[in-house]
A and B are shown apart, each in its own frame.
Chain A
Amino acid sequence: MEKLIIEKSNGARAVVFNGAKDPASFLDKKYLRKREPRLPQLSELDIVRHFTNLSRLNFCLDTHFYPLGSCTMKYNPKAYDAMCSLESFTSLHPLTPVENAQGTLEIIYKFEELLKEITGLSAWTLQPAAGAHGEFTGALIAKAYHAKDKNRTEIIVPDTAHGTNPATAAMCGFKVVNIKSNARGRVDLEELKKVLSPKTAMVMLTLPNTAGLFEYDILEISKLVHASGALLYMDGANLNALIGLVKPAAMGVDIMHINLHKTFAAPHGGGGPGAGGVGVREELKDLLPLGRVLFDGKKYLLEIKNKKSIGQVKSFYGNIAIIIRAYAYLRQFDGKTLGEIAKNAVLNANYIRVKLKNYFPAFFDEVCMHECVFTTPKDLPNLKALYVAKRLLDLGFHAPTIYFPLIVPQALMVEPTETESKQTLDAFTRAMKQIFEEAKKDISILEHAPHKTEIGVIDEVLAAREPNLKW
């Protein structure tokens, strides 16, 4: 446990700016702040210690196996951190004339070209700041595409979708139509047929879906969707399972987003910034957000006007620091090796699935893609996913995603990624087996887990009933 930095404040100074004059010599006093903000006052050494100590309270990818399902916690190559920190990239003001920003613009342009090749879609934007922001962009594009058909007010979302999908649809003014998946965790074609109508603007699918399964009926689904005049949206958060093997456009995808930080190995930074690319097929190209990077054969330019565009979705051109890393990552593969990412990711997930078969069953007992959703064993009804997650922390592993997808009771969603070794996966499965044995013997050790972390069982009810959100 670390004191709050404000509690350590002792009046010392860290960073000083010499030569500042009294602001009252330039501005009337009425504009000036009356009391100084309650910020820490400490020496630089004490600040360095504070944040270094805080950092040590975290589990992270550099220290722990981090099988958080749906988040693709793969290794973040160290070379890229240095690359995106090059001063020529970081010191560039966004209003710099394009002539002086050719390097950054070329990266955006070339990365979009590469994304076109690996997805088969015709055009990309890298403006959105995150995956969910990409979804928002995609849904706005669907709205603009259907502008002349005011009846297309619905977006169909399967029950396996990320929570962001229905929230996105609602933000864009669509009505959300939820459909149930079939017994094998896939879109039920009959259910889909029932709800597809001239009111459908778009169907949003996560591919592979959040149960970690491939929609084997995808070609039939896209046919049905297109026959009804709607668009097919692919939530590409799980692209790691298909990259270099399947082109989304070939599945009939009209619009998709990719979470660059997931598939393309950018660090997640404790929750962001991420970056979300959005790709579309030819017909939708002009609707992409304003500010695309263009190439006139000699130099890179920025699109300034486009009446058909949905407009800007944020200030300027995208999260450049993440885009540079993602571009660098993609350049380390060629057409043959790119597919190795997905193959190894899928192999690792299935390896865990099979190894845990007699302990924690996969909810859908069949080959999975890059992640596998487990549930607690039927003969241990008192064992909750939460206990497993917390006990794993004791045993030196970050927990999987729990209680998601919602269709799986006591869900434990494990995504190992391709960058983990057999030894790590074996250690993880051993830990899971230990938890299984503990649950059989004496569940109380699990109920009160974690025991070895600095903080024990947390009172979340108190946090919500009496919110304490600042010092």
Chain B
Amino acid sequence: MYNQEKCKFSKTHEWAFIEGDTAVCGISDHAQHEISDIVFVELPKIGAKVQAGKACAVIESVKSAADFYAPLSGEVTQVNENLNSNPALINQAPHGEGWIFKIKISNAKEEEKLLSFDAYKATL
């Protein structure tokens, strides 16, 4: 759905699928694999202002709680409510059903700092 080749990545393993002034955000396949079985996602609130590089969600496995750092700044317009009942969606389809939230981008310039899929792959 949000094909990884078309996504931009942060070094901290988040992706953003950008369309105009909105971005869908999630975590990379590599990250979901590292975290292993995800049991809970603490989603941001709709309307929350997230800042690039700052923690805005938490992804829990049985033995860990990983911060999700916003890849871009903006206002949260939608969250993936399905994760509340089925957090495993992130494990199953990190670039599809396992998306986390959508934002309205507030600073398009930040997009330049994100990595292409190939560049991200090279960091792993």
Please tell me whether chains A and B touch each other in their complex, using a CB distance cut-off of 8 A. Answer: yes
In the complex, chain A residues 297-325 whose Cβ is within 8 Å of any chain B Cβ: none
In the complex, chain B residues 57-103 whose Cβ is within 8 Å of any chain A Cβ: 60, 62-63, 87-88
- Cβ of A465 and Cβ of B63 under 8 Å apart? no
B residues within 8 A CB of A464? 39-40, 60, 62
Q: How far is the CA of A463 from the CA of B40 in the complex (A)?
A: 12
Give the Cβ gap from A412 to chain B, nearest Cβ, in Å.
16
User: Is residue A403 contacting chain B, with contact meaning CB distance below 8 A?
Assistant: yes
Closest to A386 in B: B63
Q: How far is the CA of A403 from the CA of B63 in the complex (A)?
A: 10
- Cβ of B63 and Cβ of A461 under 8 Å apart? no
User: Is residue A460 contacting chain B, with contact meaning CB distance below 8 A?
Assistant: yes
Q: How far is the CA of A460 from the CA of B63 in the complex (A)?
A: 9
Q: Per-residue CB proximity of B25-37 to A under 8 Å, as 1/0?
A: 0000000000001
Closest to A465 in B: B39
Tally of contacts, chain A with chain B, CB under 8 A = 15
B residues within 8 A CB of A460? 62
A residues within 8 A CB of B39? 461, 464-465
Assign chain A's interface to a size class. Answer: under 10
A residues within 8 A CB of B87? 465
A residues within 8 A CB of B40? 464-465
B residues within 8 A CB of A463? 62
Chain B facing A: main interface SS: loop
A residues within 8 A CB of B63? 403
Give the Cβ gap from B78 to chain A, nearest Cβ, in Å.
23
Give the Cβ gap from B17 to chain A, nearest Cβ, in Å.
26
A residues within 8 A CB of B60? 464
A residues within 8 A CB of B88? 465
Closest to A463 in B: B62
B residues within 8 A CB of A465? 37, 39-40, 87-88
Closest to A461 in B: B37
A residues within 8 A CB of B62? 460-461, 463-464
Q: How far is the CA of A463 from the CA of B63 in the complex (A)?
A: 12
Q: How far is the CA of A344 from the CA of B87 in the complex (A)?
A: 49
Q: How far is the CA of A464 from the CA of B60 in the complex (A)?
A: 10
In the complex, chain B residues 31-57 whose Cβ is within 8 Å of any chain A Cβ: 37, 39-40
Give the Cβ gap from B23 to chain A, nearest Cβ, in Å.
28
Q: Per-residue CB proximity of A435-471 to B under 8 Å, as 1/0?
A: 0000000000000000000000000110111000000
Q: How far is the CA of A465 from the CA of B39 in the complex (A)?
A: 5
Closest to B40 in A: A464
Q: How far is the CA of A460 from the CA of B88 in the complex (A)?
A: 14
Q: How far is the CA of A464 from the CA of B88 in the complex (A)?
A: 11
Which of B60, B62, B88: most chain A Cβ within 10 A? B62
Give the Cβ gap from B76 to chain A, nearest Cβ, in Å.
24
Give the Cβ gap from A406 to chain B, nearest Cβ, in Å.
11
Q: How far is the CA of A283 from the CA of B37 in the complex (A)?
A: 51
Q: How far is the CA of A463 from the CA of B39 in the complex (A)?
A: 9
Give the Cβ gap from A163 to chain B, nearest Cβ, in Å.
11
Give the Cβ gap from A409 to chain B, nearest Cβ, in Å.
14
A residues within 8 A CB of B37? 461, 465
Closest to B86 in A: A465
Give the Cβ gap from A387 to chain B, nearest Cβ, in Å.
15
Give the Cβ gap from B55 to chain A, nearest Cβ, in Å.
14
Q: How far is the CA of A269 from the CA of B14 in the complex (A)?
A: 44
Q: How far is the CA of A402 from the CA of B90 in the complex (A)?
A: 28
Q: How far is the CA of A464 from the CA of B37 in the complex (A)?
A: 10
Q: How far is the CA of A461 from the CA of B37 in the complex (A)?
A: 7
Closest to A464 in B: B39
Q: How far is the CA of A360 from the CA of B55 in the complex (A)?
A: 38
Q: How far is the CA of A461 from the CA of B40 in the complex (A)?
A: 10
Q: How far is the CA of A177 from the CA of B37 in the complex (A)?
A: 30
Give the Cβ gap from B111 to chain A, nearest Cβ, in Å.
31
Q: How far is the CA of A403 from the CA of B88 in the complex (A)?
A: 24
Give the Cβ gap from A292 to chain B, nearest Cβ, in Å.
38
Q: Per-residue CB proximity of A381-405 to B under 8 Å, as 1/0?
A: 0000000000000000000000100
Give the Cβ gap from B11 to chain A, nearest Cβ, in Å.
20
Give the Cβ gap from A403 to chain B, nearest Cβ, in Å.
7
Q: How far is the CA of A403 from the CA of B62 in the complex (A)?
A: 14
Closest to A460 in B: B62
Known: A403-B63, A461-B62, A465-B37. 11 other contacts (CB 8 A): A460-B62, A461-B37, A461-B39, A463-B62, A464-B39, A464-B40, A464-B60, A464-B62, A465-B39, A465-B87, A465-B88
Chain B residues within 8 Å of A, Cβ to Cβ: 37, 39-40, 60, 62-63, 87-88
Some 15 contacts from A to B, beta carbons below 8 A apart, are A403-B63, A460-B62, A461-B37, A461-B39, A461-B62, A463-B62, A464-B39, A464-B40, A464-B60, A464-B62, A465-B37, A465-B39, A465-B40, A465-B87, A465-B88
